[in-house]
Amino acid sequence: MLSESFVASLLASEKVPASAALRDAGICIHELQPACALRSTFKKSSTGPNGLAVTPTHVFAAQVDKAVVHVYSRLKGNQEATVPFPERIRSIVAAGGPNGDVLVIGTEGGRLILWETCSGRQVSTSPSHLQPVTSLVVDPTSSYVLSASSDATVHVWSLPRILSFSKPASTGSDQTATNSPILTFSNHRRAITALAVGHSSHRNNIAVSTAADNTAIVWDYTTGHVLRTFLLPSTPQSVTLDPADRAFYVGYESGNVQRVDLYETPSSHHTLYDSRLQDTPSQISADRQWNIPIKDSGAATCLALSYDGMTLLSGHQNGAVISWDVGRGKYGSTIADYTRPVTNLHMLSPAGFPQGESKETKYIVHNVIKPRYDPNMTDMSLTSGTVPPHYSVNVQLSDSREDCSGILSEAFRHPSFPPSLIEEGLAELAGQAHGTTATTDNRLPASTNGTDVSQSSTVAALEAEIDSLRKQVAANEAARRETTNEVIQLRSELRHLGDYAHDLQLKHLRSSAARVSARAQKDAEDLKRREAWFEAEKRGQNGDAALLASRAQAEQDSDDEMSQ
């Protein structure tokens, strides 16, 4: 049976919980379906907005107004560590793929700190934001990190570039090249309140940012181009995107939420890339909000969508977690009341899928390694791309045989040392003793006394068969690589053709607009000439002469413009 759960973080409050189960609870794991019930809690935590990160094995909670992150183990059900940092933490997010083995931290000083939880490596950037980093999101490929701040800017960072051991050469007196954002988005005029990133890993790489200037902007985080601008009826507090990037949902200070459809306006091609819609802001009506029936619920501080996108969850300052029916666009039910402000909601991946359809990872981060600053790991005197010799990764390999292949994985899973490895080692030793190179086949060493001719012939036949099989495998591997390269090339050409068709369509639209503008200008000039002719006739003058003079003046103005 499929089940779906979410993780909610709470802010410390003087209000006494209504039940003993919630006493001292700071993080709650709540089942959404099939049965709506509280499953477990983690205590001694007070987490601010955007201060929660969840991985398959751990929960990371940044403590409000502190430079501390509490680490909770989902596998053991307890607090694993308390990790201090040099600055106060305002936002965190997990990156690095399905395991989330990189924790990105936004500090009060406007910098990012990256912590590899499987190695303990810590890397920090320069303070590029003028104010604290209040929101962080990671794209689906874990290639980009977007950081938002109260200084009304969003920085786009390259995650591989920050984590790479190969650093650009430093200049001047600076001995360590600082990591800097690759793009800055500054179209908002006031503090950014929420940030969300799309689910696509292809052409439509969109991000949605909301700000205190009552605007929501949809933009491409790889280029910085504005795609759509929406004027909201009130100040937004939270935002989340539909799983298919068809719409985004906004939570307001009043506690109401609203759906903003990205494809509501008809267009001849992709709505987000229609230049006519990009230049004109869209006014969102306040009448289309989903009104909350609970009085004094407070602002909708966080939003989360279910796996199928049909249920929207909103967390409020009074501790309520409300379920909204997306299909009907109205209030559904109150599924939890934690009596303390809910600051973060994180939907967990559904459990109960068949094993054949699940995407298991090849390793998990069973125990996190506390971060440590090591100057040798960022020493620019090292050879470009050289990994320090003391750098180590601590992970646990998956038990799935589909994910582990080869004799090394078999050795890890075998209850004792595999006989095949012993036989291969004996063969190598025998070959070294006689001055020959032993093969790496799983076979016993050949006899050296020359008496067993039949055994030698059998071994020779087996070696010939193994060589033949190796040639076949090499040929198949070469064919597979060639096919893969052809597929990659075809996909690249298809993408280029799509971009070329898009550019042609844009040129056609521009040329049509230019023709319409030229026709309108010509009609305006003809109207002006007719008016000059009528004015001359009214004054008793020759209208034809006035018309010729007007044409001559227009030609003179055109020649002057061309000469300039």
Parallel/antiparallel/unpaired status of strands 226-231 and 282-283: parallel
Q: What's the pLDDT band for 254 if we cut at 50, 70, 90?
A: very high
Strongest mean pLDDT among 278-292, 399-413, 468-482: 278-292
Helix (H) or strand (E) holding 466: helix 453-538
Look at the alpha carbons of 92, 98, 99, 101 in this order and tell me if their dihedral is positive or negative. Answer: negative
Domain boundary among 331, 365, 400: 400
pLDDT digits (tens, 9 = 90+) for 129-169: 999 999 999 999 899 999 999 999 999 999 988 888 876 54
Task: Examine residue 113 and state whether it is found in any structural domain, yes or no.
Answer: yes
Here the CATH number for the domain that contains residue 128 is 2.130.10.10
Mean pLDDT across the chain = 82
Residue 311 has pLDDT above 90, yes or no: yes
Residue 377 has pLDDT above 90, yes or no: no
Domain carrying residue 63: 46-166+179-186+353-380+388-400
Amino acid letter, residue 112: L
Task: Examine residue 259 and state whether it is found in any structural domain, yes or no.
Answer: no
Average pLDDT over residues 540-562: 76
Q: Cβ(38)–Cβ(28) under 8 Å?
A: yes
Number of domains within the chain: 2
Task: Examine residue 5 and state whether it is found in any structural domain, yes or no.
Answer: no
424 versus 348: the higher-pLDDT residue is 348
Task: Examine residue 496 and state whether it is found in any structural domain, yes or no.
Answer: no
Task: Examine residue 132 and state whether it is found in any structural domain, yes or no.
Answer: yes
Average pLDDT over residues 463-479: 80
Cβ burial, residue 561 (10 Å; 0-12/13-18/19+): exposed
Task: Examine residue 298 and state whether it is found in any structural domain, yes or no.
Answer: no
Residue 438 has pLDDT above 50, yes or no: no
Cα distances (angstroms) measured from residue 193 to each of 213, 289, 323: 10, 19, 22
Q: How many percent of the chain have pLDDT more than 70?
A: 80
What's the confidence (pLDDT) of residue 522?
Answer: 84
Task: Give the Cα separation of 104 and 114 in Å (integer).
Answer: 5
Task: Examine residue 93 and state whether it is found in any structural domain, yes or no.
Answer: yes
pLDDT digits (tens, 9 = 90+) for 395-416: 877 654 444 445 556 666 666 6
Residue 328 has pLDDT above 80, yes or no: yes
* Angle at which helices 543-563 and 453-538 cross, to 10°: 150
pLDDT digits (tens, 9 = 90+) for 57-99: 999 999 998 999 999 999 899 999 999 999 999 999 999 888 8
Average pLDDT over residues 259-266: 85
Task: Examine residue 162 and state whether it is found in any structural domain, yes or no.
Answer: yes
What's the confidence (pLDDT) of residue 175?
Answer: 39
pLDDT digits (tens, 9 = 90+) for 189-215: 999 999 999 987 666 789 999 999 999
What's the confidence (pLDDT) of residue 417?
Answer: 63
